[in-house]
Amino acid sequence: MLPSPVLGAYLFWSDRAQRHGDRLLARRLTEGKEDGARLDERRGLASVDRPDGPLMWLHAASVGESVSLLEMIRRMGEERTELSFLLTTGTVTSAQVLAGRLPARTIHQYVPLDIRAWMRRFLDHWRPDIAVLAEGEIWPALIHETVSRGIPLSMINARMTERAYRRWRFAKGASRTLLRKVAHVHAQEQATADRLLSLGLPAERLEVTGTLKEGSAALPHDEPERVRIAAALGGRPCWLAASTHAGEEALAATAHRTALRSWHKLLLVIAPRHPDRADAVIADLRGDGWRVAQRSAGEEITPETQIYVADTMGEMGLWYRICTVSFVGGSLVEVGGHNPFEPAALGSAILHGAGIANFADIYDRLRAAGASREITAETLGPALAEVLEPDVTARMAHAAWEVCSEGAEVTEKAMDLLFAMLDGVD
């Protein structure tokens, strides 16, 4: 007998939701949000065999969360060569980014929708020894079906937004029941810890450790390509507008025009968060008179190029290394910001807007160290012109690197927890 009527009702619905799931997948497929070749994975049908030996299942919400796990997986795999890893995500973009970057003995699959029959099918095939949720998403069927099989489950890198908390606080009986199934939680910051405690997580199972992204390896890059692009730049200064959303490209271009008064050969590199927006972004920029080159079209950077649109996947490590200053997008629009540790780990000074709720604690630390500056749409241009000064850039980049290096213990704590869980499995 389930102690929560709301949870009982959800699981009752989930037990009968396969038609709903098929309709949802069909709609998402037409919207380009699903991978048609691997759609059955979302129904719990595995596309590869389970490896022999112990298997750790880690689920990450999306791109940043999944990438943050790779260094930890690599290190765990080196320590225990008999251990294999199943990494699940729910977005096409995450699968594209992970392709070619998975550590040894690591398999990627799309996570099934939160439908009990599909989750059972998934668990029947994979039979993980332990389960790990990164970022702390609460999926009732996933948690219920996993723990009911005696599979220990923990959350690492947990972050609960205010919006998610508001949803769950109206179903506290359900949240309490589910959270009491979780063996241990590593929270990114105190705000998440407070929200999880309020929803019913036992205090003795909670630890505030910081974000796992601090312990991630620096983003990879193609060194010969970096050398080639540096040669094409010929010593020109450049800055990056990274992970931008609609509206931010125009703001970056306006700031670029301001900075050009002081830095006459300055190049702006724009890397849209969603590369499928690139054609529209380029059309707008060219309509405003900018000379734009597009990476996916094979267009080169020439002395006449003013803006370069880097609309390819998996190359952010390249641009953070090339550009000495990065504006991290999603912070001048209502998105909540993106991960600042990626540029910080690669020697790029950081500018950002006020909309950084997703990473507020991290930005607080970077600002306190002098590694980043908060700007508005109006002050981005003047701040950019100042930060481009080599002594300012070097000072900010060094401070950012020091903040990043302090986070290695977050990965160590997560590894210790997961190894202890594995060792406790009969």
Whether the CB-CB separation of 327 and 269 falls below 8 Å is answered with no
pLDDT (0 to 100) of residue 129: 97
Give the sheet arrangement for strand 372-374, strand by strand. Answer: 292-294, 307-309, 267-272, 238-244, 325-328, 349-352, 372-374
Q: Please indicate, yes or no, if residue 261 is contained in any of the structural domains.
A: yes
* CATH number, position 281: 3.40.50.2000
Residue 29: domain span: 5-210+408-423
80-126: pLDDT as tens digits? 999 999 999 999 988 888 887 898 999 999 999 999 999 999 999 99
CATH number, domain with residue 66: 3.40.50.11720
Both tokens assigned to 288: 């405003």
Residue of 357 and 50 predicted with greater confidence:
50
Looking at the structure, tell me whether residues 75 and 172 fall in a common domain: yes
Going by C-alpha positions, the residue among 365, 358, 9, 336 that lies closest to residue 350 is: 365
How many angstroms separate the CA atoms of 84 and 56, rounded?
6
Q: Rounded to the nearest 5°, which phi and psi values hold at 312? A: -120, 155
How many domains does the chain contain in total? 2
Are residues 258 and 274 in contact, defined by beta-carbon separation less than 8 angstroms? no
Mean pLDDT of 3-14: 89
Q: Return the minimum-mean-pLDDT range out of 248-257, 353-362, 400-409.
A: 400-409
252 and 163 within one domain: no
Q: Is residue 401 part of a domain?
A: yes
* 316 pLDDT higher than 90: yes
Same domain (yes/no): 39, 181: yes
List C-alpha distances in Å: 32 to 25, 36, 92: 10, 9, 8
The answer to whether residues 237 and 166 belong to one domain is no
pLDDT digits (tens, 9 = 90+) for 173-186: 999 999 999 999 99
On whether residue 218 sits in a domain, the answer given is no
Same domain, 100 and 234: no
Q: Residue 55 — very low, low, confident or very high, per pLDDT cuts 50/70/90? A: very high
- For residue 298, the 8-state DSSP code is T
Q: What is the mean pLDDT of residues 266-287?
A: 96
Statement to judge: residues 11 and 119 lie in one domain: yes
Q: If phi over 0 gives left and psi between -120 and 50 gives alpha, with beta otherwise, what is residue 55?
A: beta
> Does 97 lie in the same domain as 32?
yes
pTM equals 0.66
Cβ burial, residue 302 (10 Å; 0-12/13-18/19+): exposed
CB 67 within 8 A of CB 99: no
Residue 356 lies in a domain: yes
Establish if 216 belongs to a structural domain.
no
Distance CA 356, CA 363 (A): 8
146 and 153 in contact (C-beta within 8 Å)?
Answer: yes
What is residue 35's DSSP assignment?
Answer: -
Residues 249, 189 share a domain = no
DSSP tag of 140: H
Q: How far is CA 45 from CA 119, 139, 149, in A?
A: 9, 19, 19
3-state class (DSSP) for residue 154: strand
Is 195 within the bounds of a domain? yes
Do the domain assignments include residue 417? Answer: yes
Q: Is residue 215 part of a domain?
A: no
Q: Looking at the structure, tell me whether residues 66 and 86 fall in a common domain.
A: yes
Looking at the fold, whether 45 and 185 belong to one and the same domain comes out as yes
**Binning pLDDT at 50, 70 and 90, where does residue 42 land?**
very high
The reply to whether 258 and 391 lie within a common domain is: yes
Q: Taking 80 as the threshold, does the pLDDT of residue 218 lie above it?
A: no
Buried residues in 181-206 as b, exposed as e (16+ CB within 10 A): ebbbbbbbbebbbebbbebbbeeebb
Same domain, 202 and 248: no
Helix axes of 140-148 and 172-179: crossing angle, nearest 10 degrees = 40
Express as a percent the part of the chain with pLDDT over 70: 97
